[in-house]
Amino acid sequence: MKLAVAGAAGRMGRTLIEMILRSGDLKLAAALEAPGSPAIGRDAGELVGNPCGVKVVSDPANAVAGADCLIDFTRPEGTLAHVEQCVKKGVRMVIGTTGFSAQQNERIAEAAAKIAIVLAPNMSAGVNVAFKLAETAARALGDGYDVEIIEAHHRHKVDAPSGTALRFGDVIARSLGRDAARNSVHGRKGQVGERDPKAIGFHAIRGGDIVGEHTVMFAGEGERVEITVRSGSRATYALGALRAARFLSGKDRGLYDMQEVMGLR
């Protein structure tokens, strides 16, 4: 399977390139960077100490033309531009970008009527198992337990809360029959009053080189249940993205997530 990687010179891009070059069944077909990047023209493999003959380019149309699937962990605007090119070329996509608006998500859903797309806020196998555990816990514990979601990431992350934290909130809200948007509380300061029993709290920590940590807390009378996932390497996300790309092999269209990739739904 021939893969193209968007954001090739970034932290996730370099990890993806390394994992692809180390795999036995996947081939790096293209490496894409934004115009003006100092990586353009370089051998993509050199970015990870393994020259491969694939040059980093800035033209999305050329990058996807020779690929079966594009893996994209960039920014919403860039990802949507890549979606347009993939639709034109009939190329599948694995999207790990977060921070999409509702309207942007609709555009991706429309594109999935023409090409196969895996869209997930977190590609980690462990995190996706934790989504399932959180769903089960919420249904079993019910309204007697207060829900708080705490996430921590490196200082360079630009969106908060993380897409993963928001997905935990959505999963739990559906399980409890709540409206995620209306019942979400983001941080607290000052005289906020007694806690709304239906609130789902979110707290974001940013600092250092934290790859990603998420804890879902169900706090009840006399006990607290916590589900925690700590990622120590971006390799977990990259390996999940490659698993998603393999899942799309042979699929012509449709919008999927990692729960489907992993057989959890």
Domain layout of the chain by residue ranges: 2-119+234-261, 125-231
**pLDDT class for 219, splitting at 50, 70, 90?**
very high
CB count within 10 Å of CB 252 equals 10
What predicted TM-score, i.e. pTM, was given to this entire model? 0.84
Mean pLDDT of 241-264: 96
Measure Cα distances from 174 to 32, 36, 217, 239 in Å. 37, 43, 16, 28
**pLDDT class for 49, splitting at 50, 70, 90?**
very high
pLDDT value, residue 144: 96
Measure Cα distances from 1 to 67, 85, 259 in Å. 8, 19, 22
Residues acting as catalytic residues:
153, 157
**pLDDT class for 265, splitting at 50, 70, 90?**
confident
Which residues on adjacent β-strands are paired with residue 21?
A: none
Closest among 193, 199, 242 to 73, alpha carbons compared:
242
CA 143 to chain centre: 29
The 10s digit of each residue's pLDDT in 97-123 is 988 999 999 999 999 999 999 999 899
Determine the Cα–Cα distance for residues 47 and 89; give it in Å rounded to an integer.
27
Pick the CATH number of 125-231 from 3.20.20.70, 1.20.210.10, 3.30.360.10, 3.40.50.300: 3.30.360.10
Mean pLDDT of 49-78: 96
Question: According to CATH, what is the number of the domain 2-119+234-261?
Answer: 3.40.50.720
**pLDDT class for 206, splitting at 50, 70, 90?**
very high
The 10s digit of each residue's pLDDT in 155-185 is 999 999 999 999 999 999 999 999 999 999 9
